[in-house]
Amino acid sequence: MEVNISYLPDEILLLIFSILPSVDLLAVARVCKRFNDIASDGRVVRDIDLRKAYHYKTDDLREFFRPRCLTITHLNANHMYWIKFPALVEKLKNVQSLHMLGSSLTFKQLLSILKSCQKVEHLSITWPDDVKTNSFALVQTTAVRLRSLAVLVSQYPISLLTLLQYTTSLTSLTITNHHAPNLFAIPSSVTSPVKDLCLPNLTDLIVDHVGGSFSYRVLGRLVERVVEAAGSTAEWCTFWINTSIRIHMSSPLTTVVPKCKRLFLLVNTGVYEELKQAGQLPQLHHLFIDGETPQIHSLSPLLRSCSNLRSLHMHGLNITLDLRQVCEASPYLQRLSVCCQPQLGPVFTKAVSCLTHLTHLTVPVCALIGVLDEVKVEGREERSMREPFLKKQRVGVSSRENAHLATFNLVLDNCPHLVVLEIGFSGSRLSCSPKRVWWECLENIQKLTSLTHLTLDGVPITSGAFLIQIAKGCQRLEFLRLRHLGPSGNCTYLSHLAQALPHCYNLRHLRVEQNYLAPSTGLWTGLQSCQFLERLLVLSQSDGRELDLVGLDALISSLPHLVFVFVGGSHTPKSKCAAITKKYKHSNRAALVVLVRPGLWDVFEDSNTETRLIPPVHFNEMVTFRSWAFTSYAYPSMDNV
């Protein structure tokens, strides 16, 4: 039965509009006159989340904002890089939460926003590059009201420290920069009035890879001053310093560690000694440790004191850990990302299998070493020694009878709640002999029906048939990343990946980095079934043929939700790459970014100006290759991970 929405009572319409996503409200506002008549009601247009509004332009949002700008109190427009927001948000007089990370701003526009939106308490912005004068005294009234501030910096943001002098009510401060950190490095002689900072209410501090924007001396002094200003009165929640600075403080951890719930530390010998003196840490829920020490140190005693630990990330040189003791002390661990030595692979895997509440898991390739105790099987090395003339398994041939042998099956059976699974991200794969890795067990990932994020890096496979089984079993899979699987001289899984993609109905993001992917015609054909695909990255570093750019062009045209395409082939002519890139540079799809390149040796170099023009959200989450297990703590755009 069809119902004309125009004849429904206002009460029912208000209820319908209140539960609709913000993106749908934009569409309703275009076609429903009744919506515009009652839109002044604060219950209808109050909290607006536009992060998925890929099909709308600045004019569309201006038309939506104009009649209801006084009712909006919360606006999340993070990483909407194609929208010119400054002119839109200046009229939001009652906005309290304003998030605009990734949208370019000038210093004049920033001052205008702070003057107009005087009720804002939570602010997320990209710091302007043209700040030359310190005029923040004019917006002191707004700055004092700020409770949380998140800033994405690029070059020379020393003036940010001037603004922080006025934000005395700040409880949360986030400064991030993963985009081109070295090109904008400034001399260490640059000074700033850090001594005037006073943030007595700060409870959350995140300084994430900003060494290229601040000098190390200024950055270290900033962190030191913040901790000193907070003193013993602050109830610390997050202390996240993910940058290579040396903090010169008498006892920085004595003040911070006993109160934190989320803690990130770059460990050195001095930090390790202070950690041992921290005592019991029952309030610590999330611990991220990285770094190196000249001598071998075990963190097991420290972790035994963290009885309520929920997340653990530990990587570094000479930093060891008895995972069995950690599992006994923190049986309800939900996120785990650790490295191990190849000889400890089976012991490591058995310990992980005891953590039945895991939702996020990052392990090295050596976790696939070892077989179940009750299974008596002759290893590949022993068999080849006993039968030296036995023909080796051909590349591309799968041994499915070995899928049940690996110890890693215990993890797949005992951790059914896994949402994020990453295998790789560790140099230990270099010391793992392919003959010792029982990669066939990857087929059993299909048992993880709740899996949404899967990453496979450096696994020595000989066939990709397991990808088809995973695609059929993991129907919720949204993020898939494959890198350097199997031999470097041949891509052994491309045809299987093309067959698996039609089963990935919910796939949103695909990243494939491998040699000899060209021409990838089958891959483009398989991806046409993924109608919800938003981002695609394919890097073929060594090729004998050129990529099928005609098929790629047809793929881009057939996927309406696509917003980012980064494709590189070493044997593809530069003229063809430039032609398809230019075609989509001024297309009607404002959010779409297409970049096709012939050479890939400078993709991650700061001197590549073309790469630096990629929106930070795509560069950080797709171009660079980092773990998802802890990304959401530093990046608001990944809160759903």
Residue 424's closest CA among 452, 451, 456?
456
Q: Which residue has the tokens 């073929």?
A: 540
Please tell me the predicted confidence (pLDDT) of residue 195. 64
Classified as helix, coil or strand, 271 is helix
Mean pLDDT of 331-359: 83
Helix axes 574-583, 549-558, angle to 10 degrees: 10
Residue 585's closest CA among 573, 593, 575?
593
Greatest mean pLDDT range, 37-46, 275-284, 323-332, 571-580: 571-580
* Per-state percent for the chain, helix, strand, coil, to nearest 5: 35, 15, 45
Residue 384's closest CA among 374, 375, 393, 371?
393
Q: Among 78-82, 228-232, 415-419, 614-618, name the one with the lowest average pLDDT.
A: 228-232
For 586, counting Cβ atoms within 10 Å of its Cβ (0-12 exposed, 13-18 middle, 19+ buried), the class is exposed
- For every residue of 99-151, which 3-state class applies, written as one string? ECCCCCCCHHHHHHHHHHCCCCCEEEEECCCCCCCCCHHHHHHHHHHCCEEEE
pLDDT band for 3, please (50, 70, 90 cuts): low
Q: How far apart are CA 126 and CA 154, in angstroms?
A: 8
Q: What digits encode the pLDDT tens for the residues 593-604?
A: 999 988 765 555
Classified as helix, coil or strand, 154 is coil
> Would you say 443 and 470 are in contact if contact means Cβ atoms under 8 Å apart?
yes
Please tell me the predicted confidence (pLDDT) of residue 404. 84
Question: How many C-beta neighbours within 10 Å does residue 574 have?
Answer: 11
Q: Name 264's bridge partners.
A: 240, 288
pLDDT band for 555, please (50, 70, 90 cuts): very high
Q: In sequence order, what DSSP letters do the residues of 504-566 get, joined into one string? A: -TT--EEEEEESS-TT-HHHHHHHTT-TT--EEEEEESS-SS---HHHHHHHHHH-TT--EEE
> Would you say 632 and 626 are in contact if contact means Cβ atoms under 8 Å apart?
no
Please tell me the predicted confidence (pLDDT) of residue 249. 45
Q: What digits encode the pLDDT tens for the residues 21-48?
A: 888 888 887 777 777 676 555 667 788 8
Please tell me the predicted confidence (pLDDT) of residue 147. 94
Q: Among 259-263, 354-358, 567-571, name the one with the lowest average pLDDT.
A: 259-263
Please tell me the predicted confidence (pLDDT) of residue 272. 67
pLDDT band for 490, please (50, 70, 90 cuts): confident
Which helix (DSSP H) or strand (DSSP E) does residue 265 occupy? strand 262-267
* Residue bearing the bigger pLDDT, 402 or 267: 402
Q: For residue 500, is pLDDT > 90?
A: yes
Residue 164's closest CA among 176, 148, 180?
148
CA end-to-end distance (rounded Å), the chain: 39
Instruction: Label residues 1-39 b or e (16+ Cβ within 10 Å = b).
Output: eeeeeeeeeeeebeeebeeeebbebbebbeebeebeeeb
Q: What digits encode the pLDDT tens for the residues 375-408?
A: 555 544 444 444 444 444 444 445 566 788 889 9
Query: Looking at domain 1-45, does it have CATH number 1.20.1280?
Result: yes
Under DSSP, the state recorded for 426 is S
Please tell me the predicted confidence (pLDDT) of residue 301. 77
Please tell me the predicted confidence (pLDDT) of residue 74. 93
pLDDT band for 117, please (50, 70, 90 cuts): very high
Under DSSP, the state recorded for 432 is S
> Would you say 31 and 6 are in contact if contact means Cβ atoms under 8 Å apart?
no
Q: Name 362's bridge partners.
A: 337, 422
What is the residue extent of each domain of the chain? 1-45
Provide the phi-psi class of 370: left if phi over 0, else alpha when psi is between -120 and 50, else beta.
left
Summary mean pLDDT of the chain: 80
Greatest Cα pair distance, the chain, in angstroms, is: 83
Q: What digits encode the pLDDT tens for the residues 175-211?
A: 887 554 444 444 444 455 666 677 888 888 888 776 6
**Percentage of the chain modeled with pLDDT above 70:** 75
What is the identity of the amino acid at 468? I
pLDDT band for 468, please (50, 70, 90 cuts): very high
Query: How many CA atoms within 13 Å lie on the side-chain side of 488?
Result: 3
Mean pLDDT of 288-312: 76
Please tell me the predicted confidence (pLDDT) of residue 293. 63
Mean pLDDT of 463-475: 95
519 upstream amide cis, omega within 30 of 0: yes
Please tell me the predicted confidence (pLDDT) of residue 15. 80
Please tell me the predicted confidence (pLDDT) of residue 230. 59
Q: What digits encode the pLDDT tens for the residues 141-154?
A: 899 999 999 998 87
Give the angle subtended at the CA of 366 by the CAs of 362 and 367, to the nearest 5°. Answer: 55
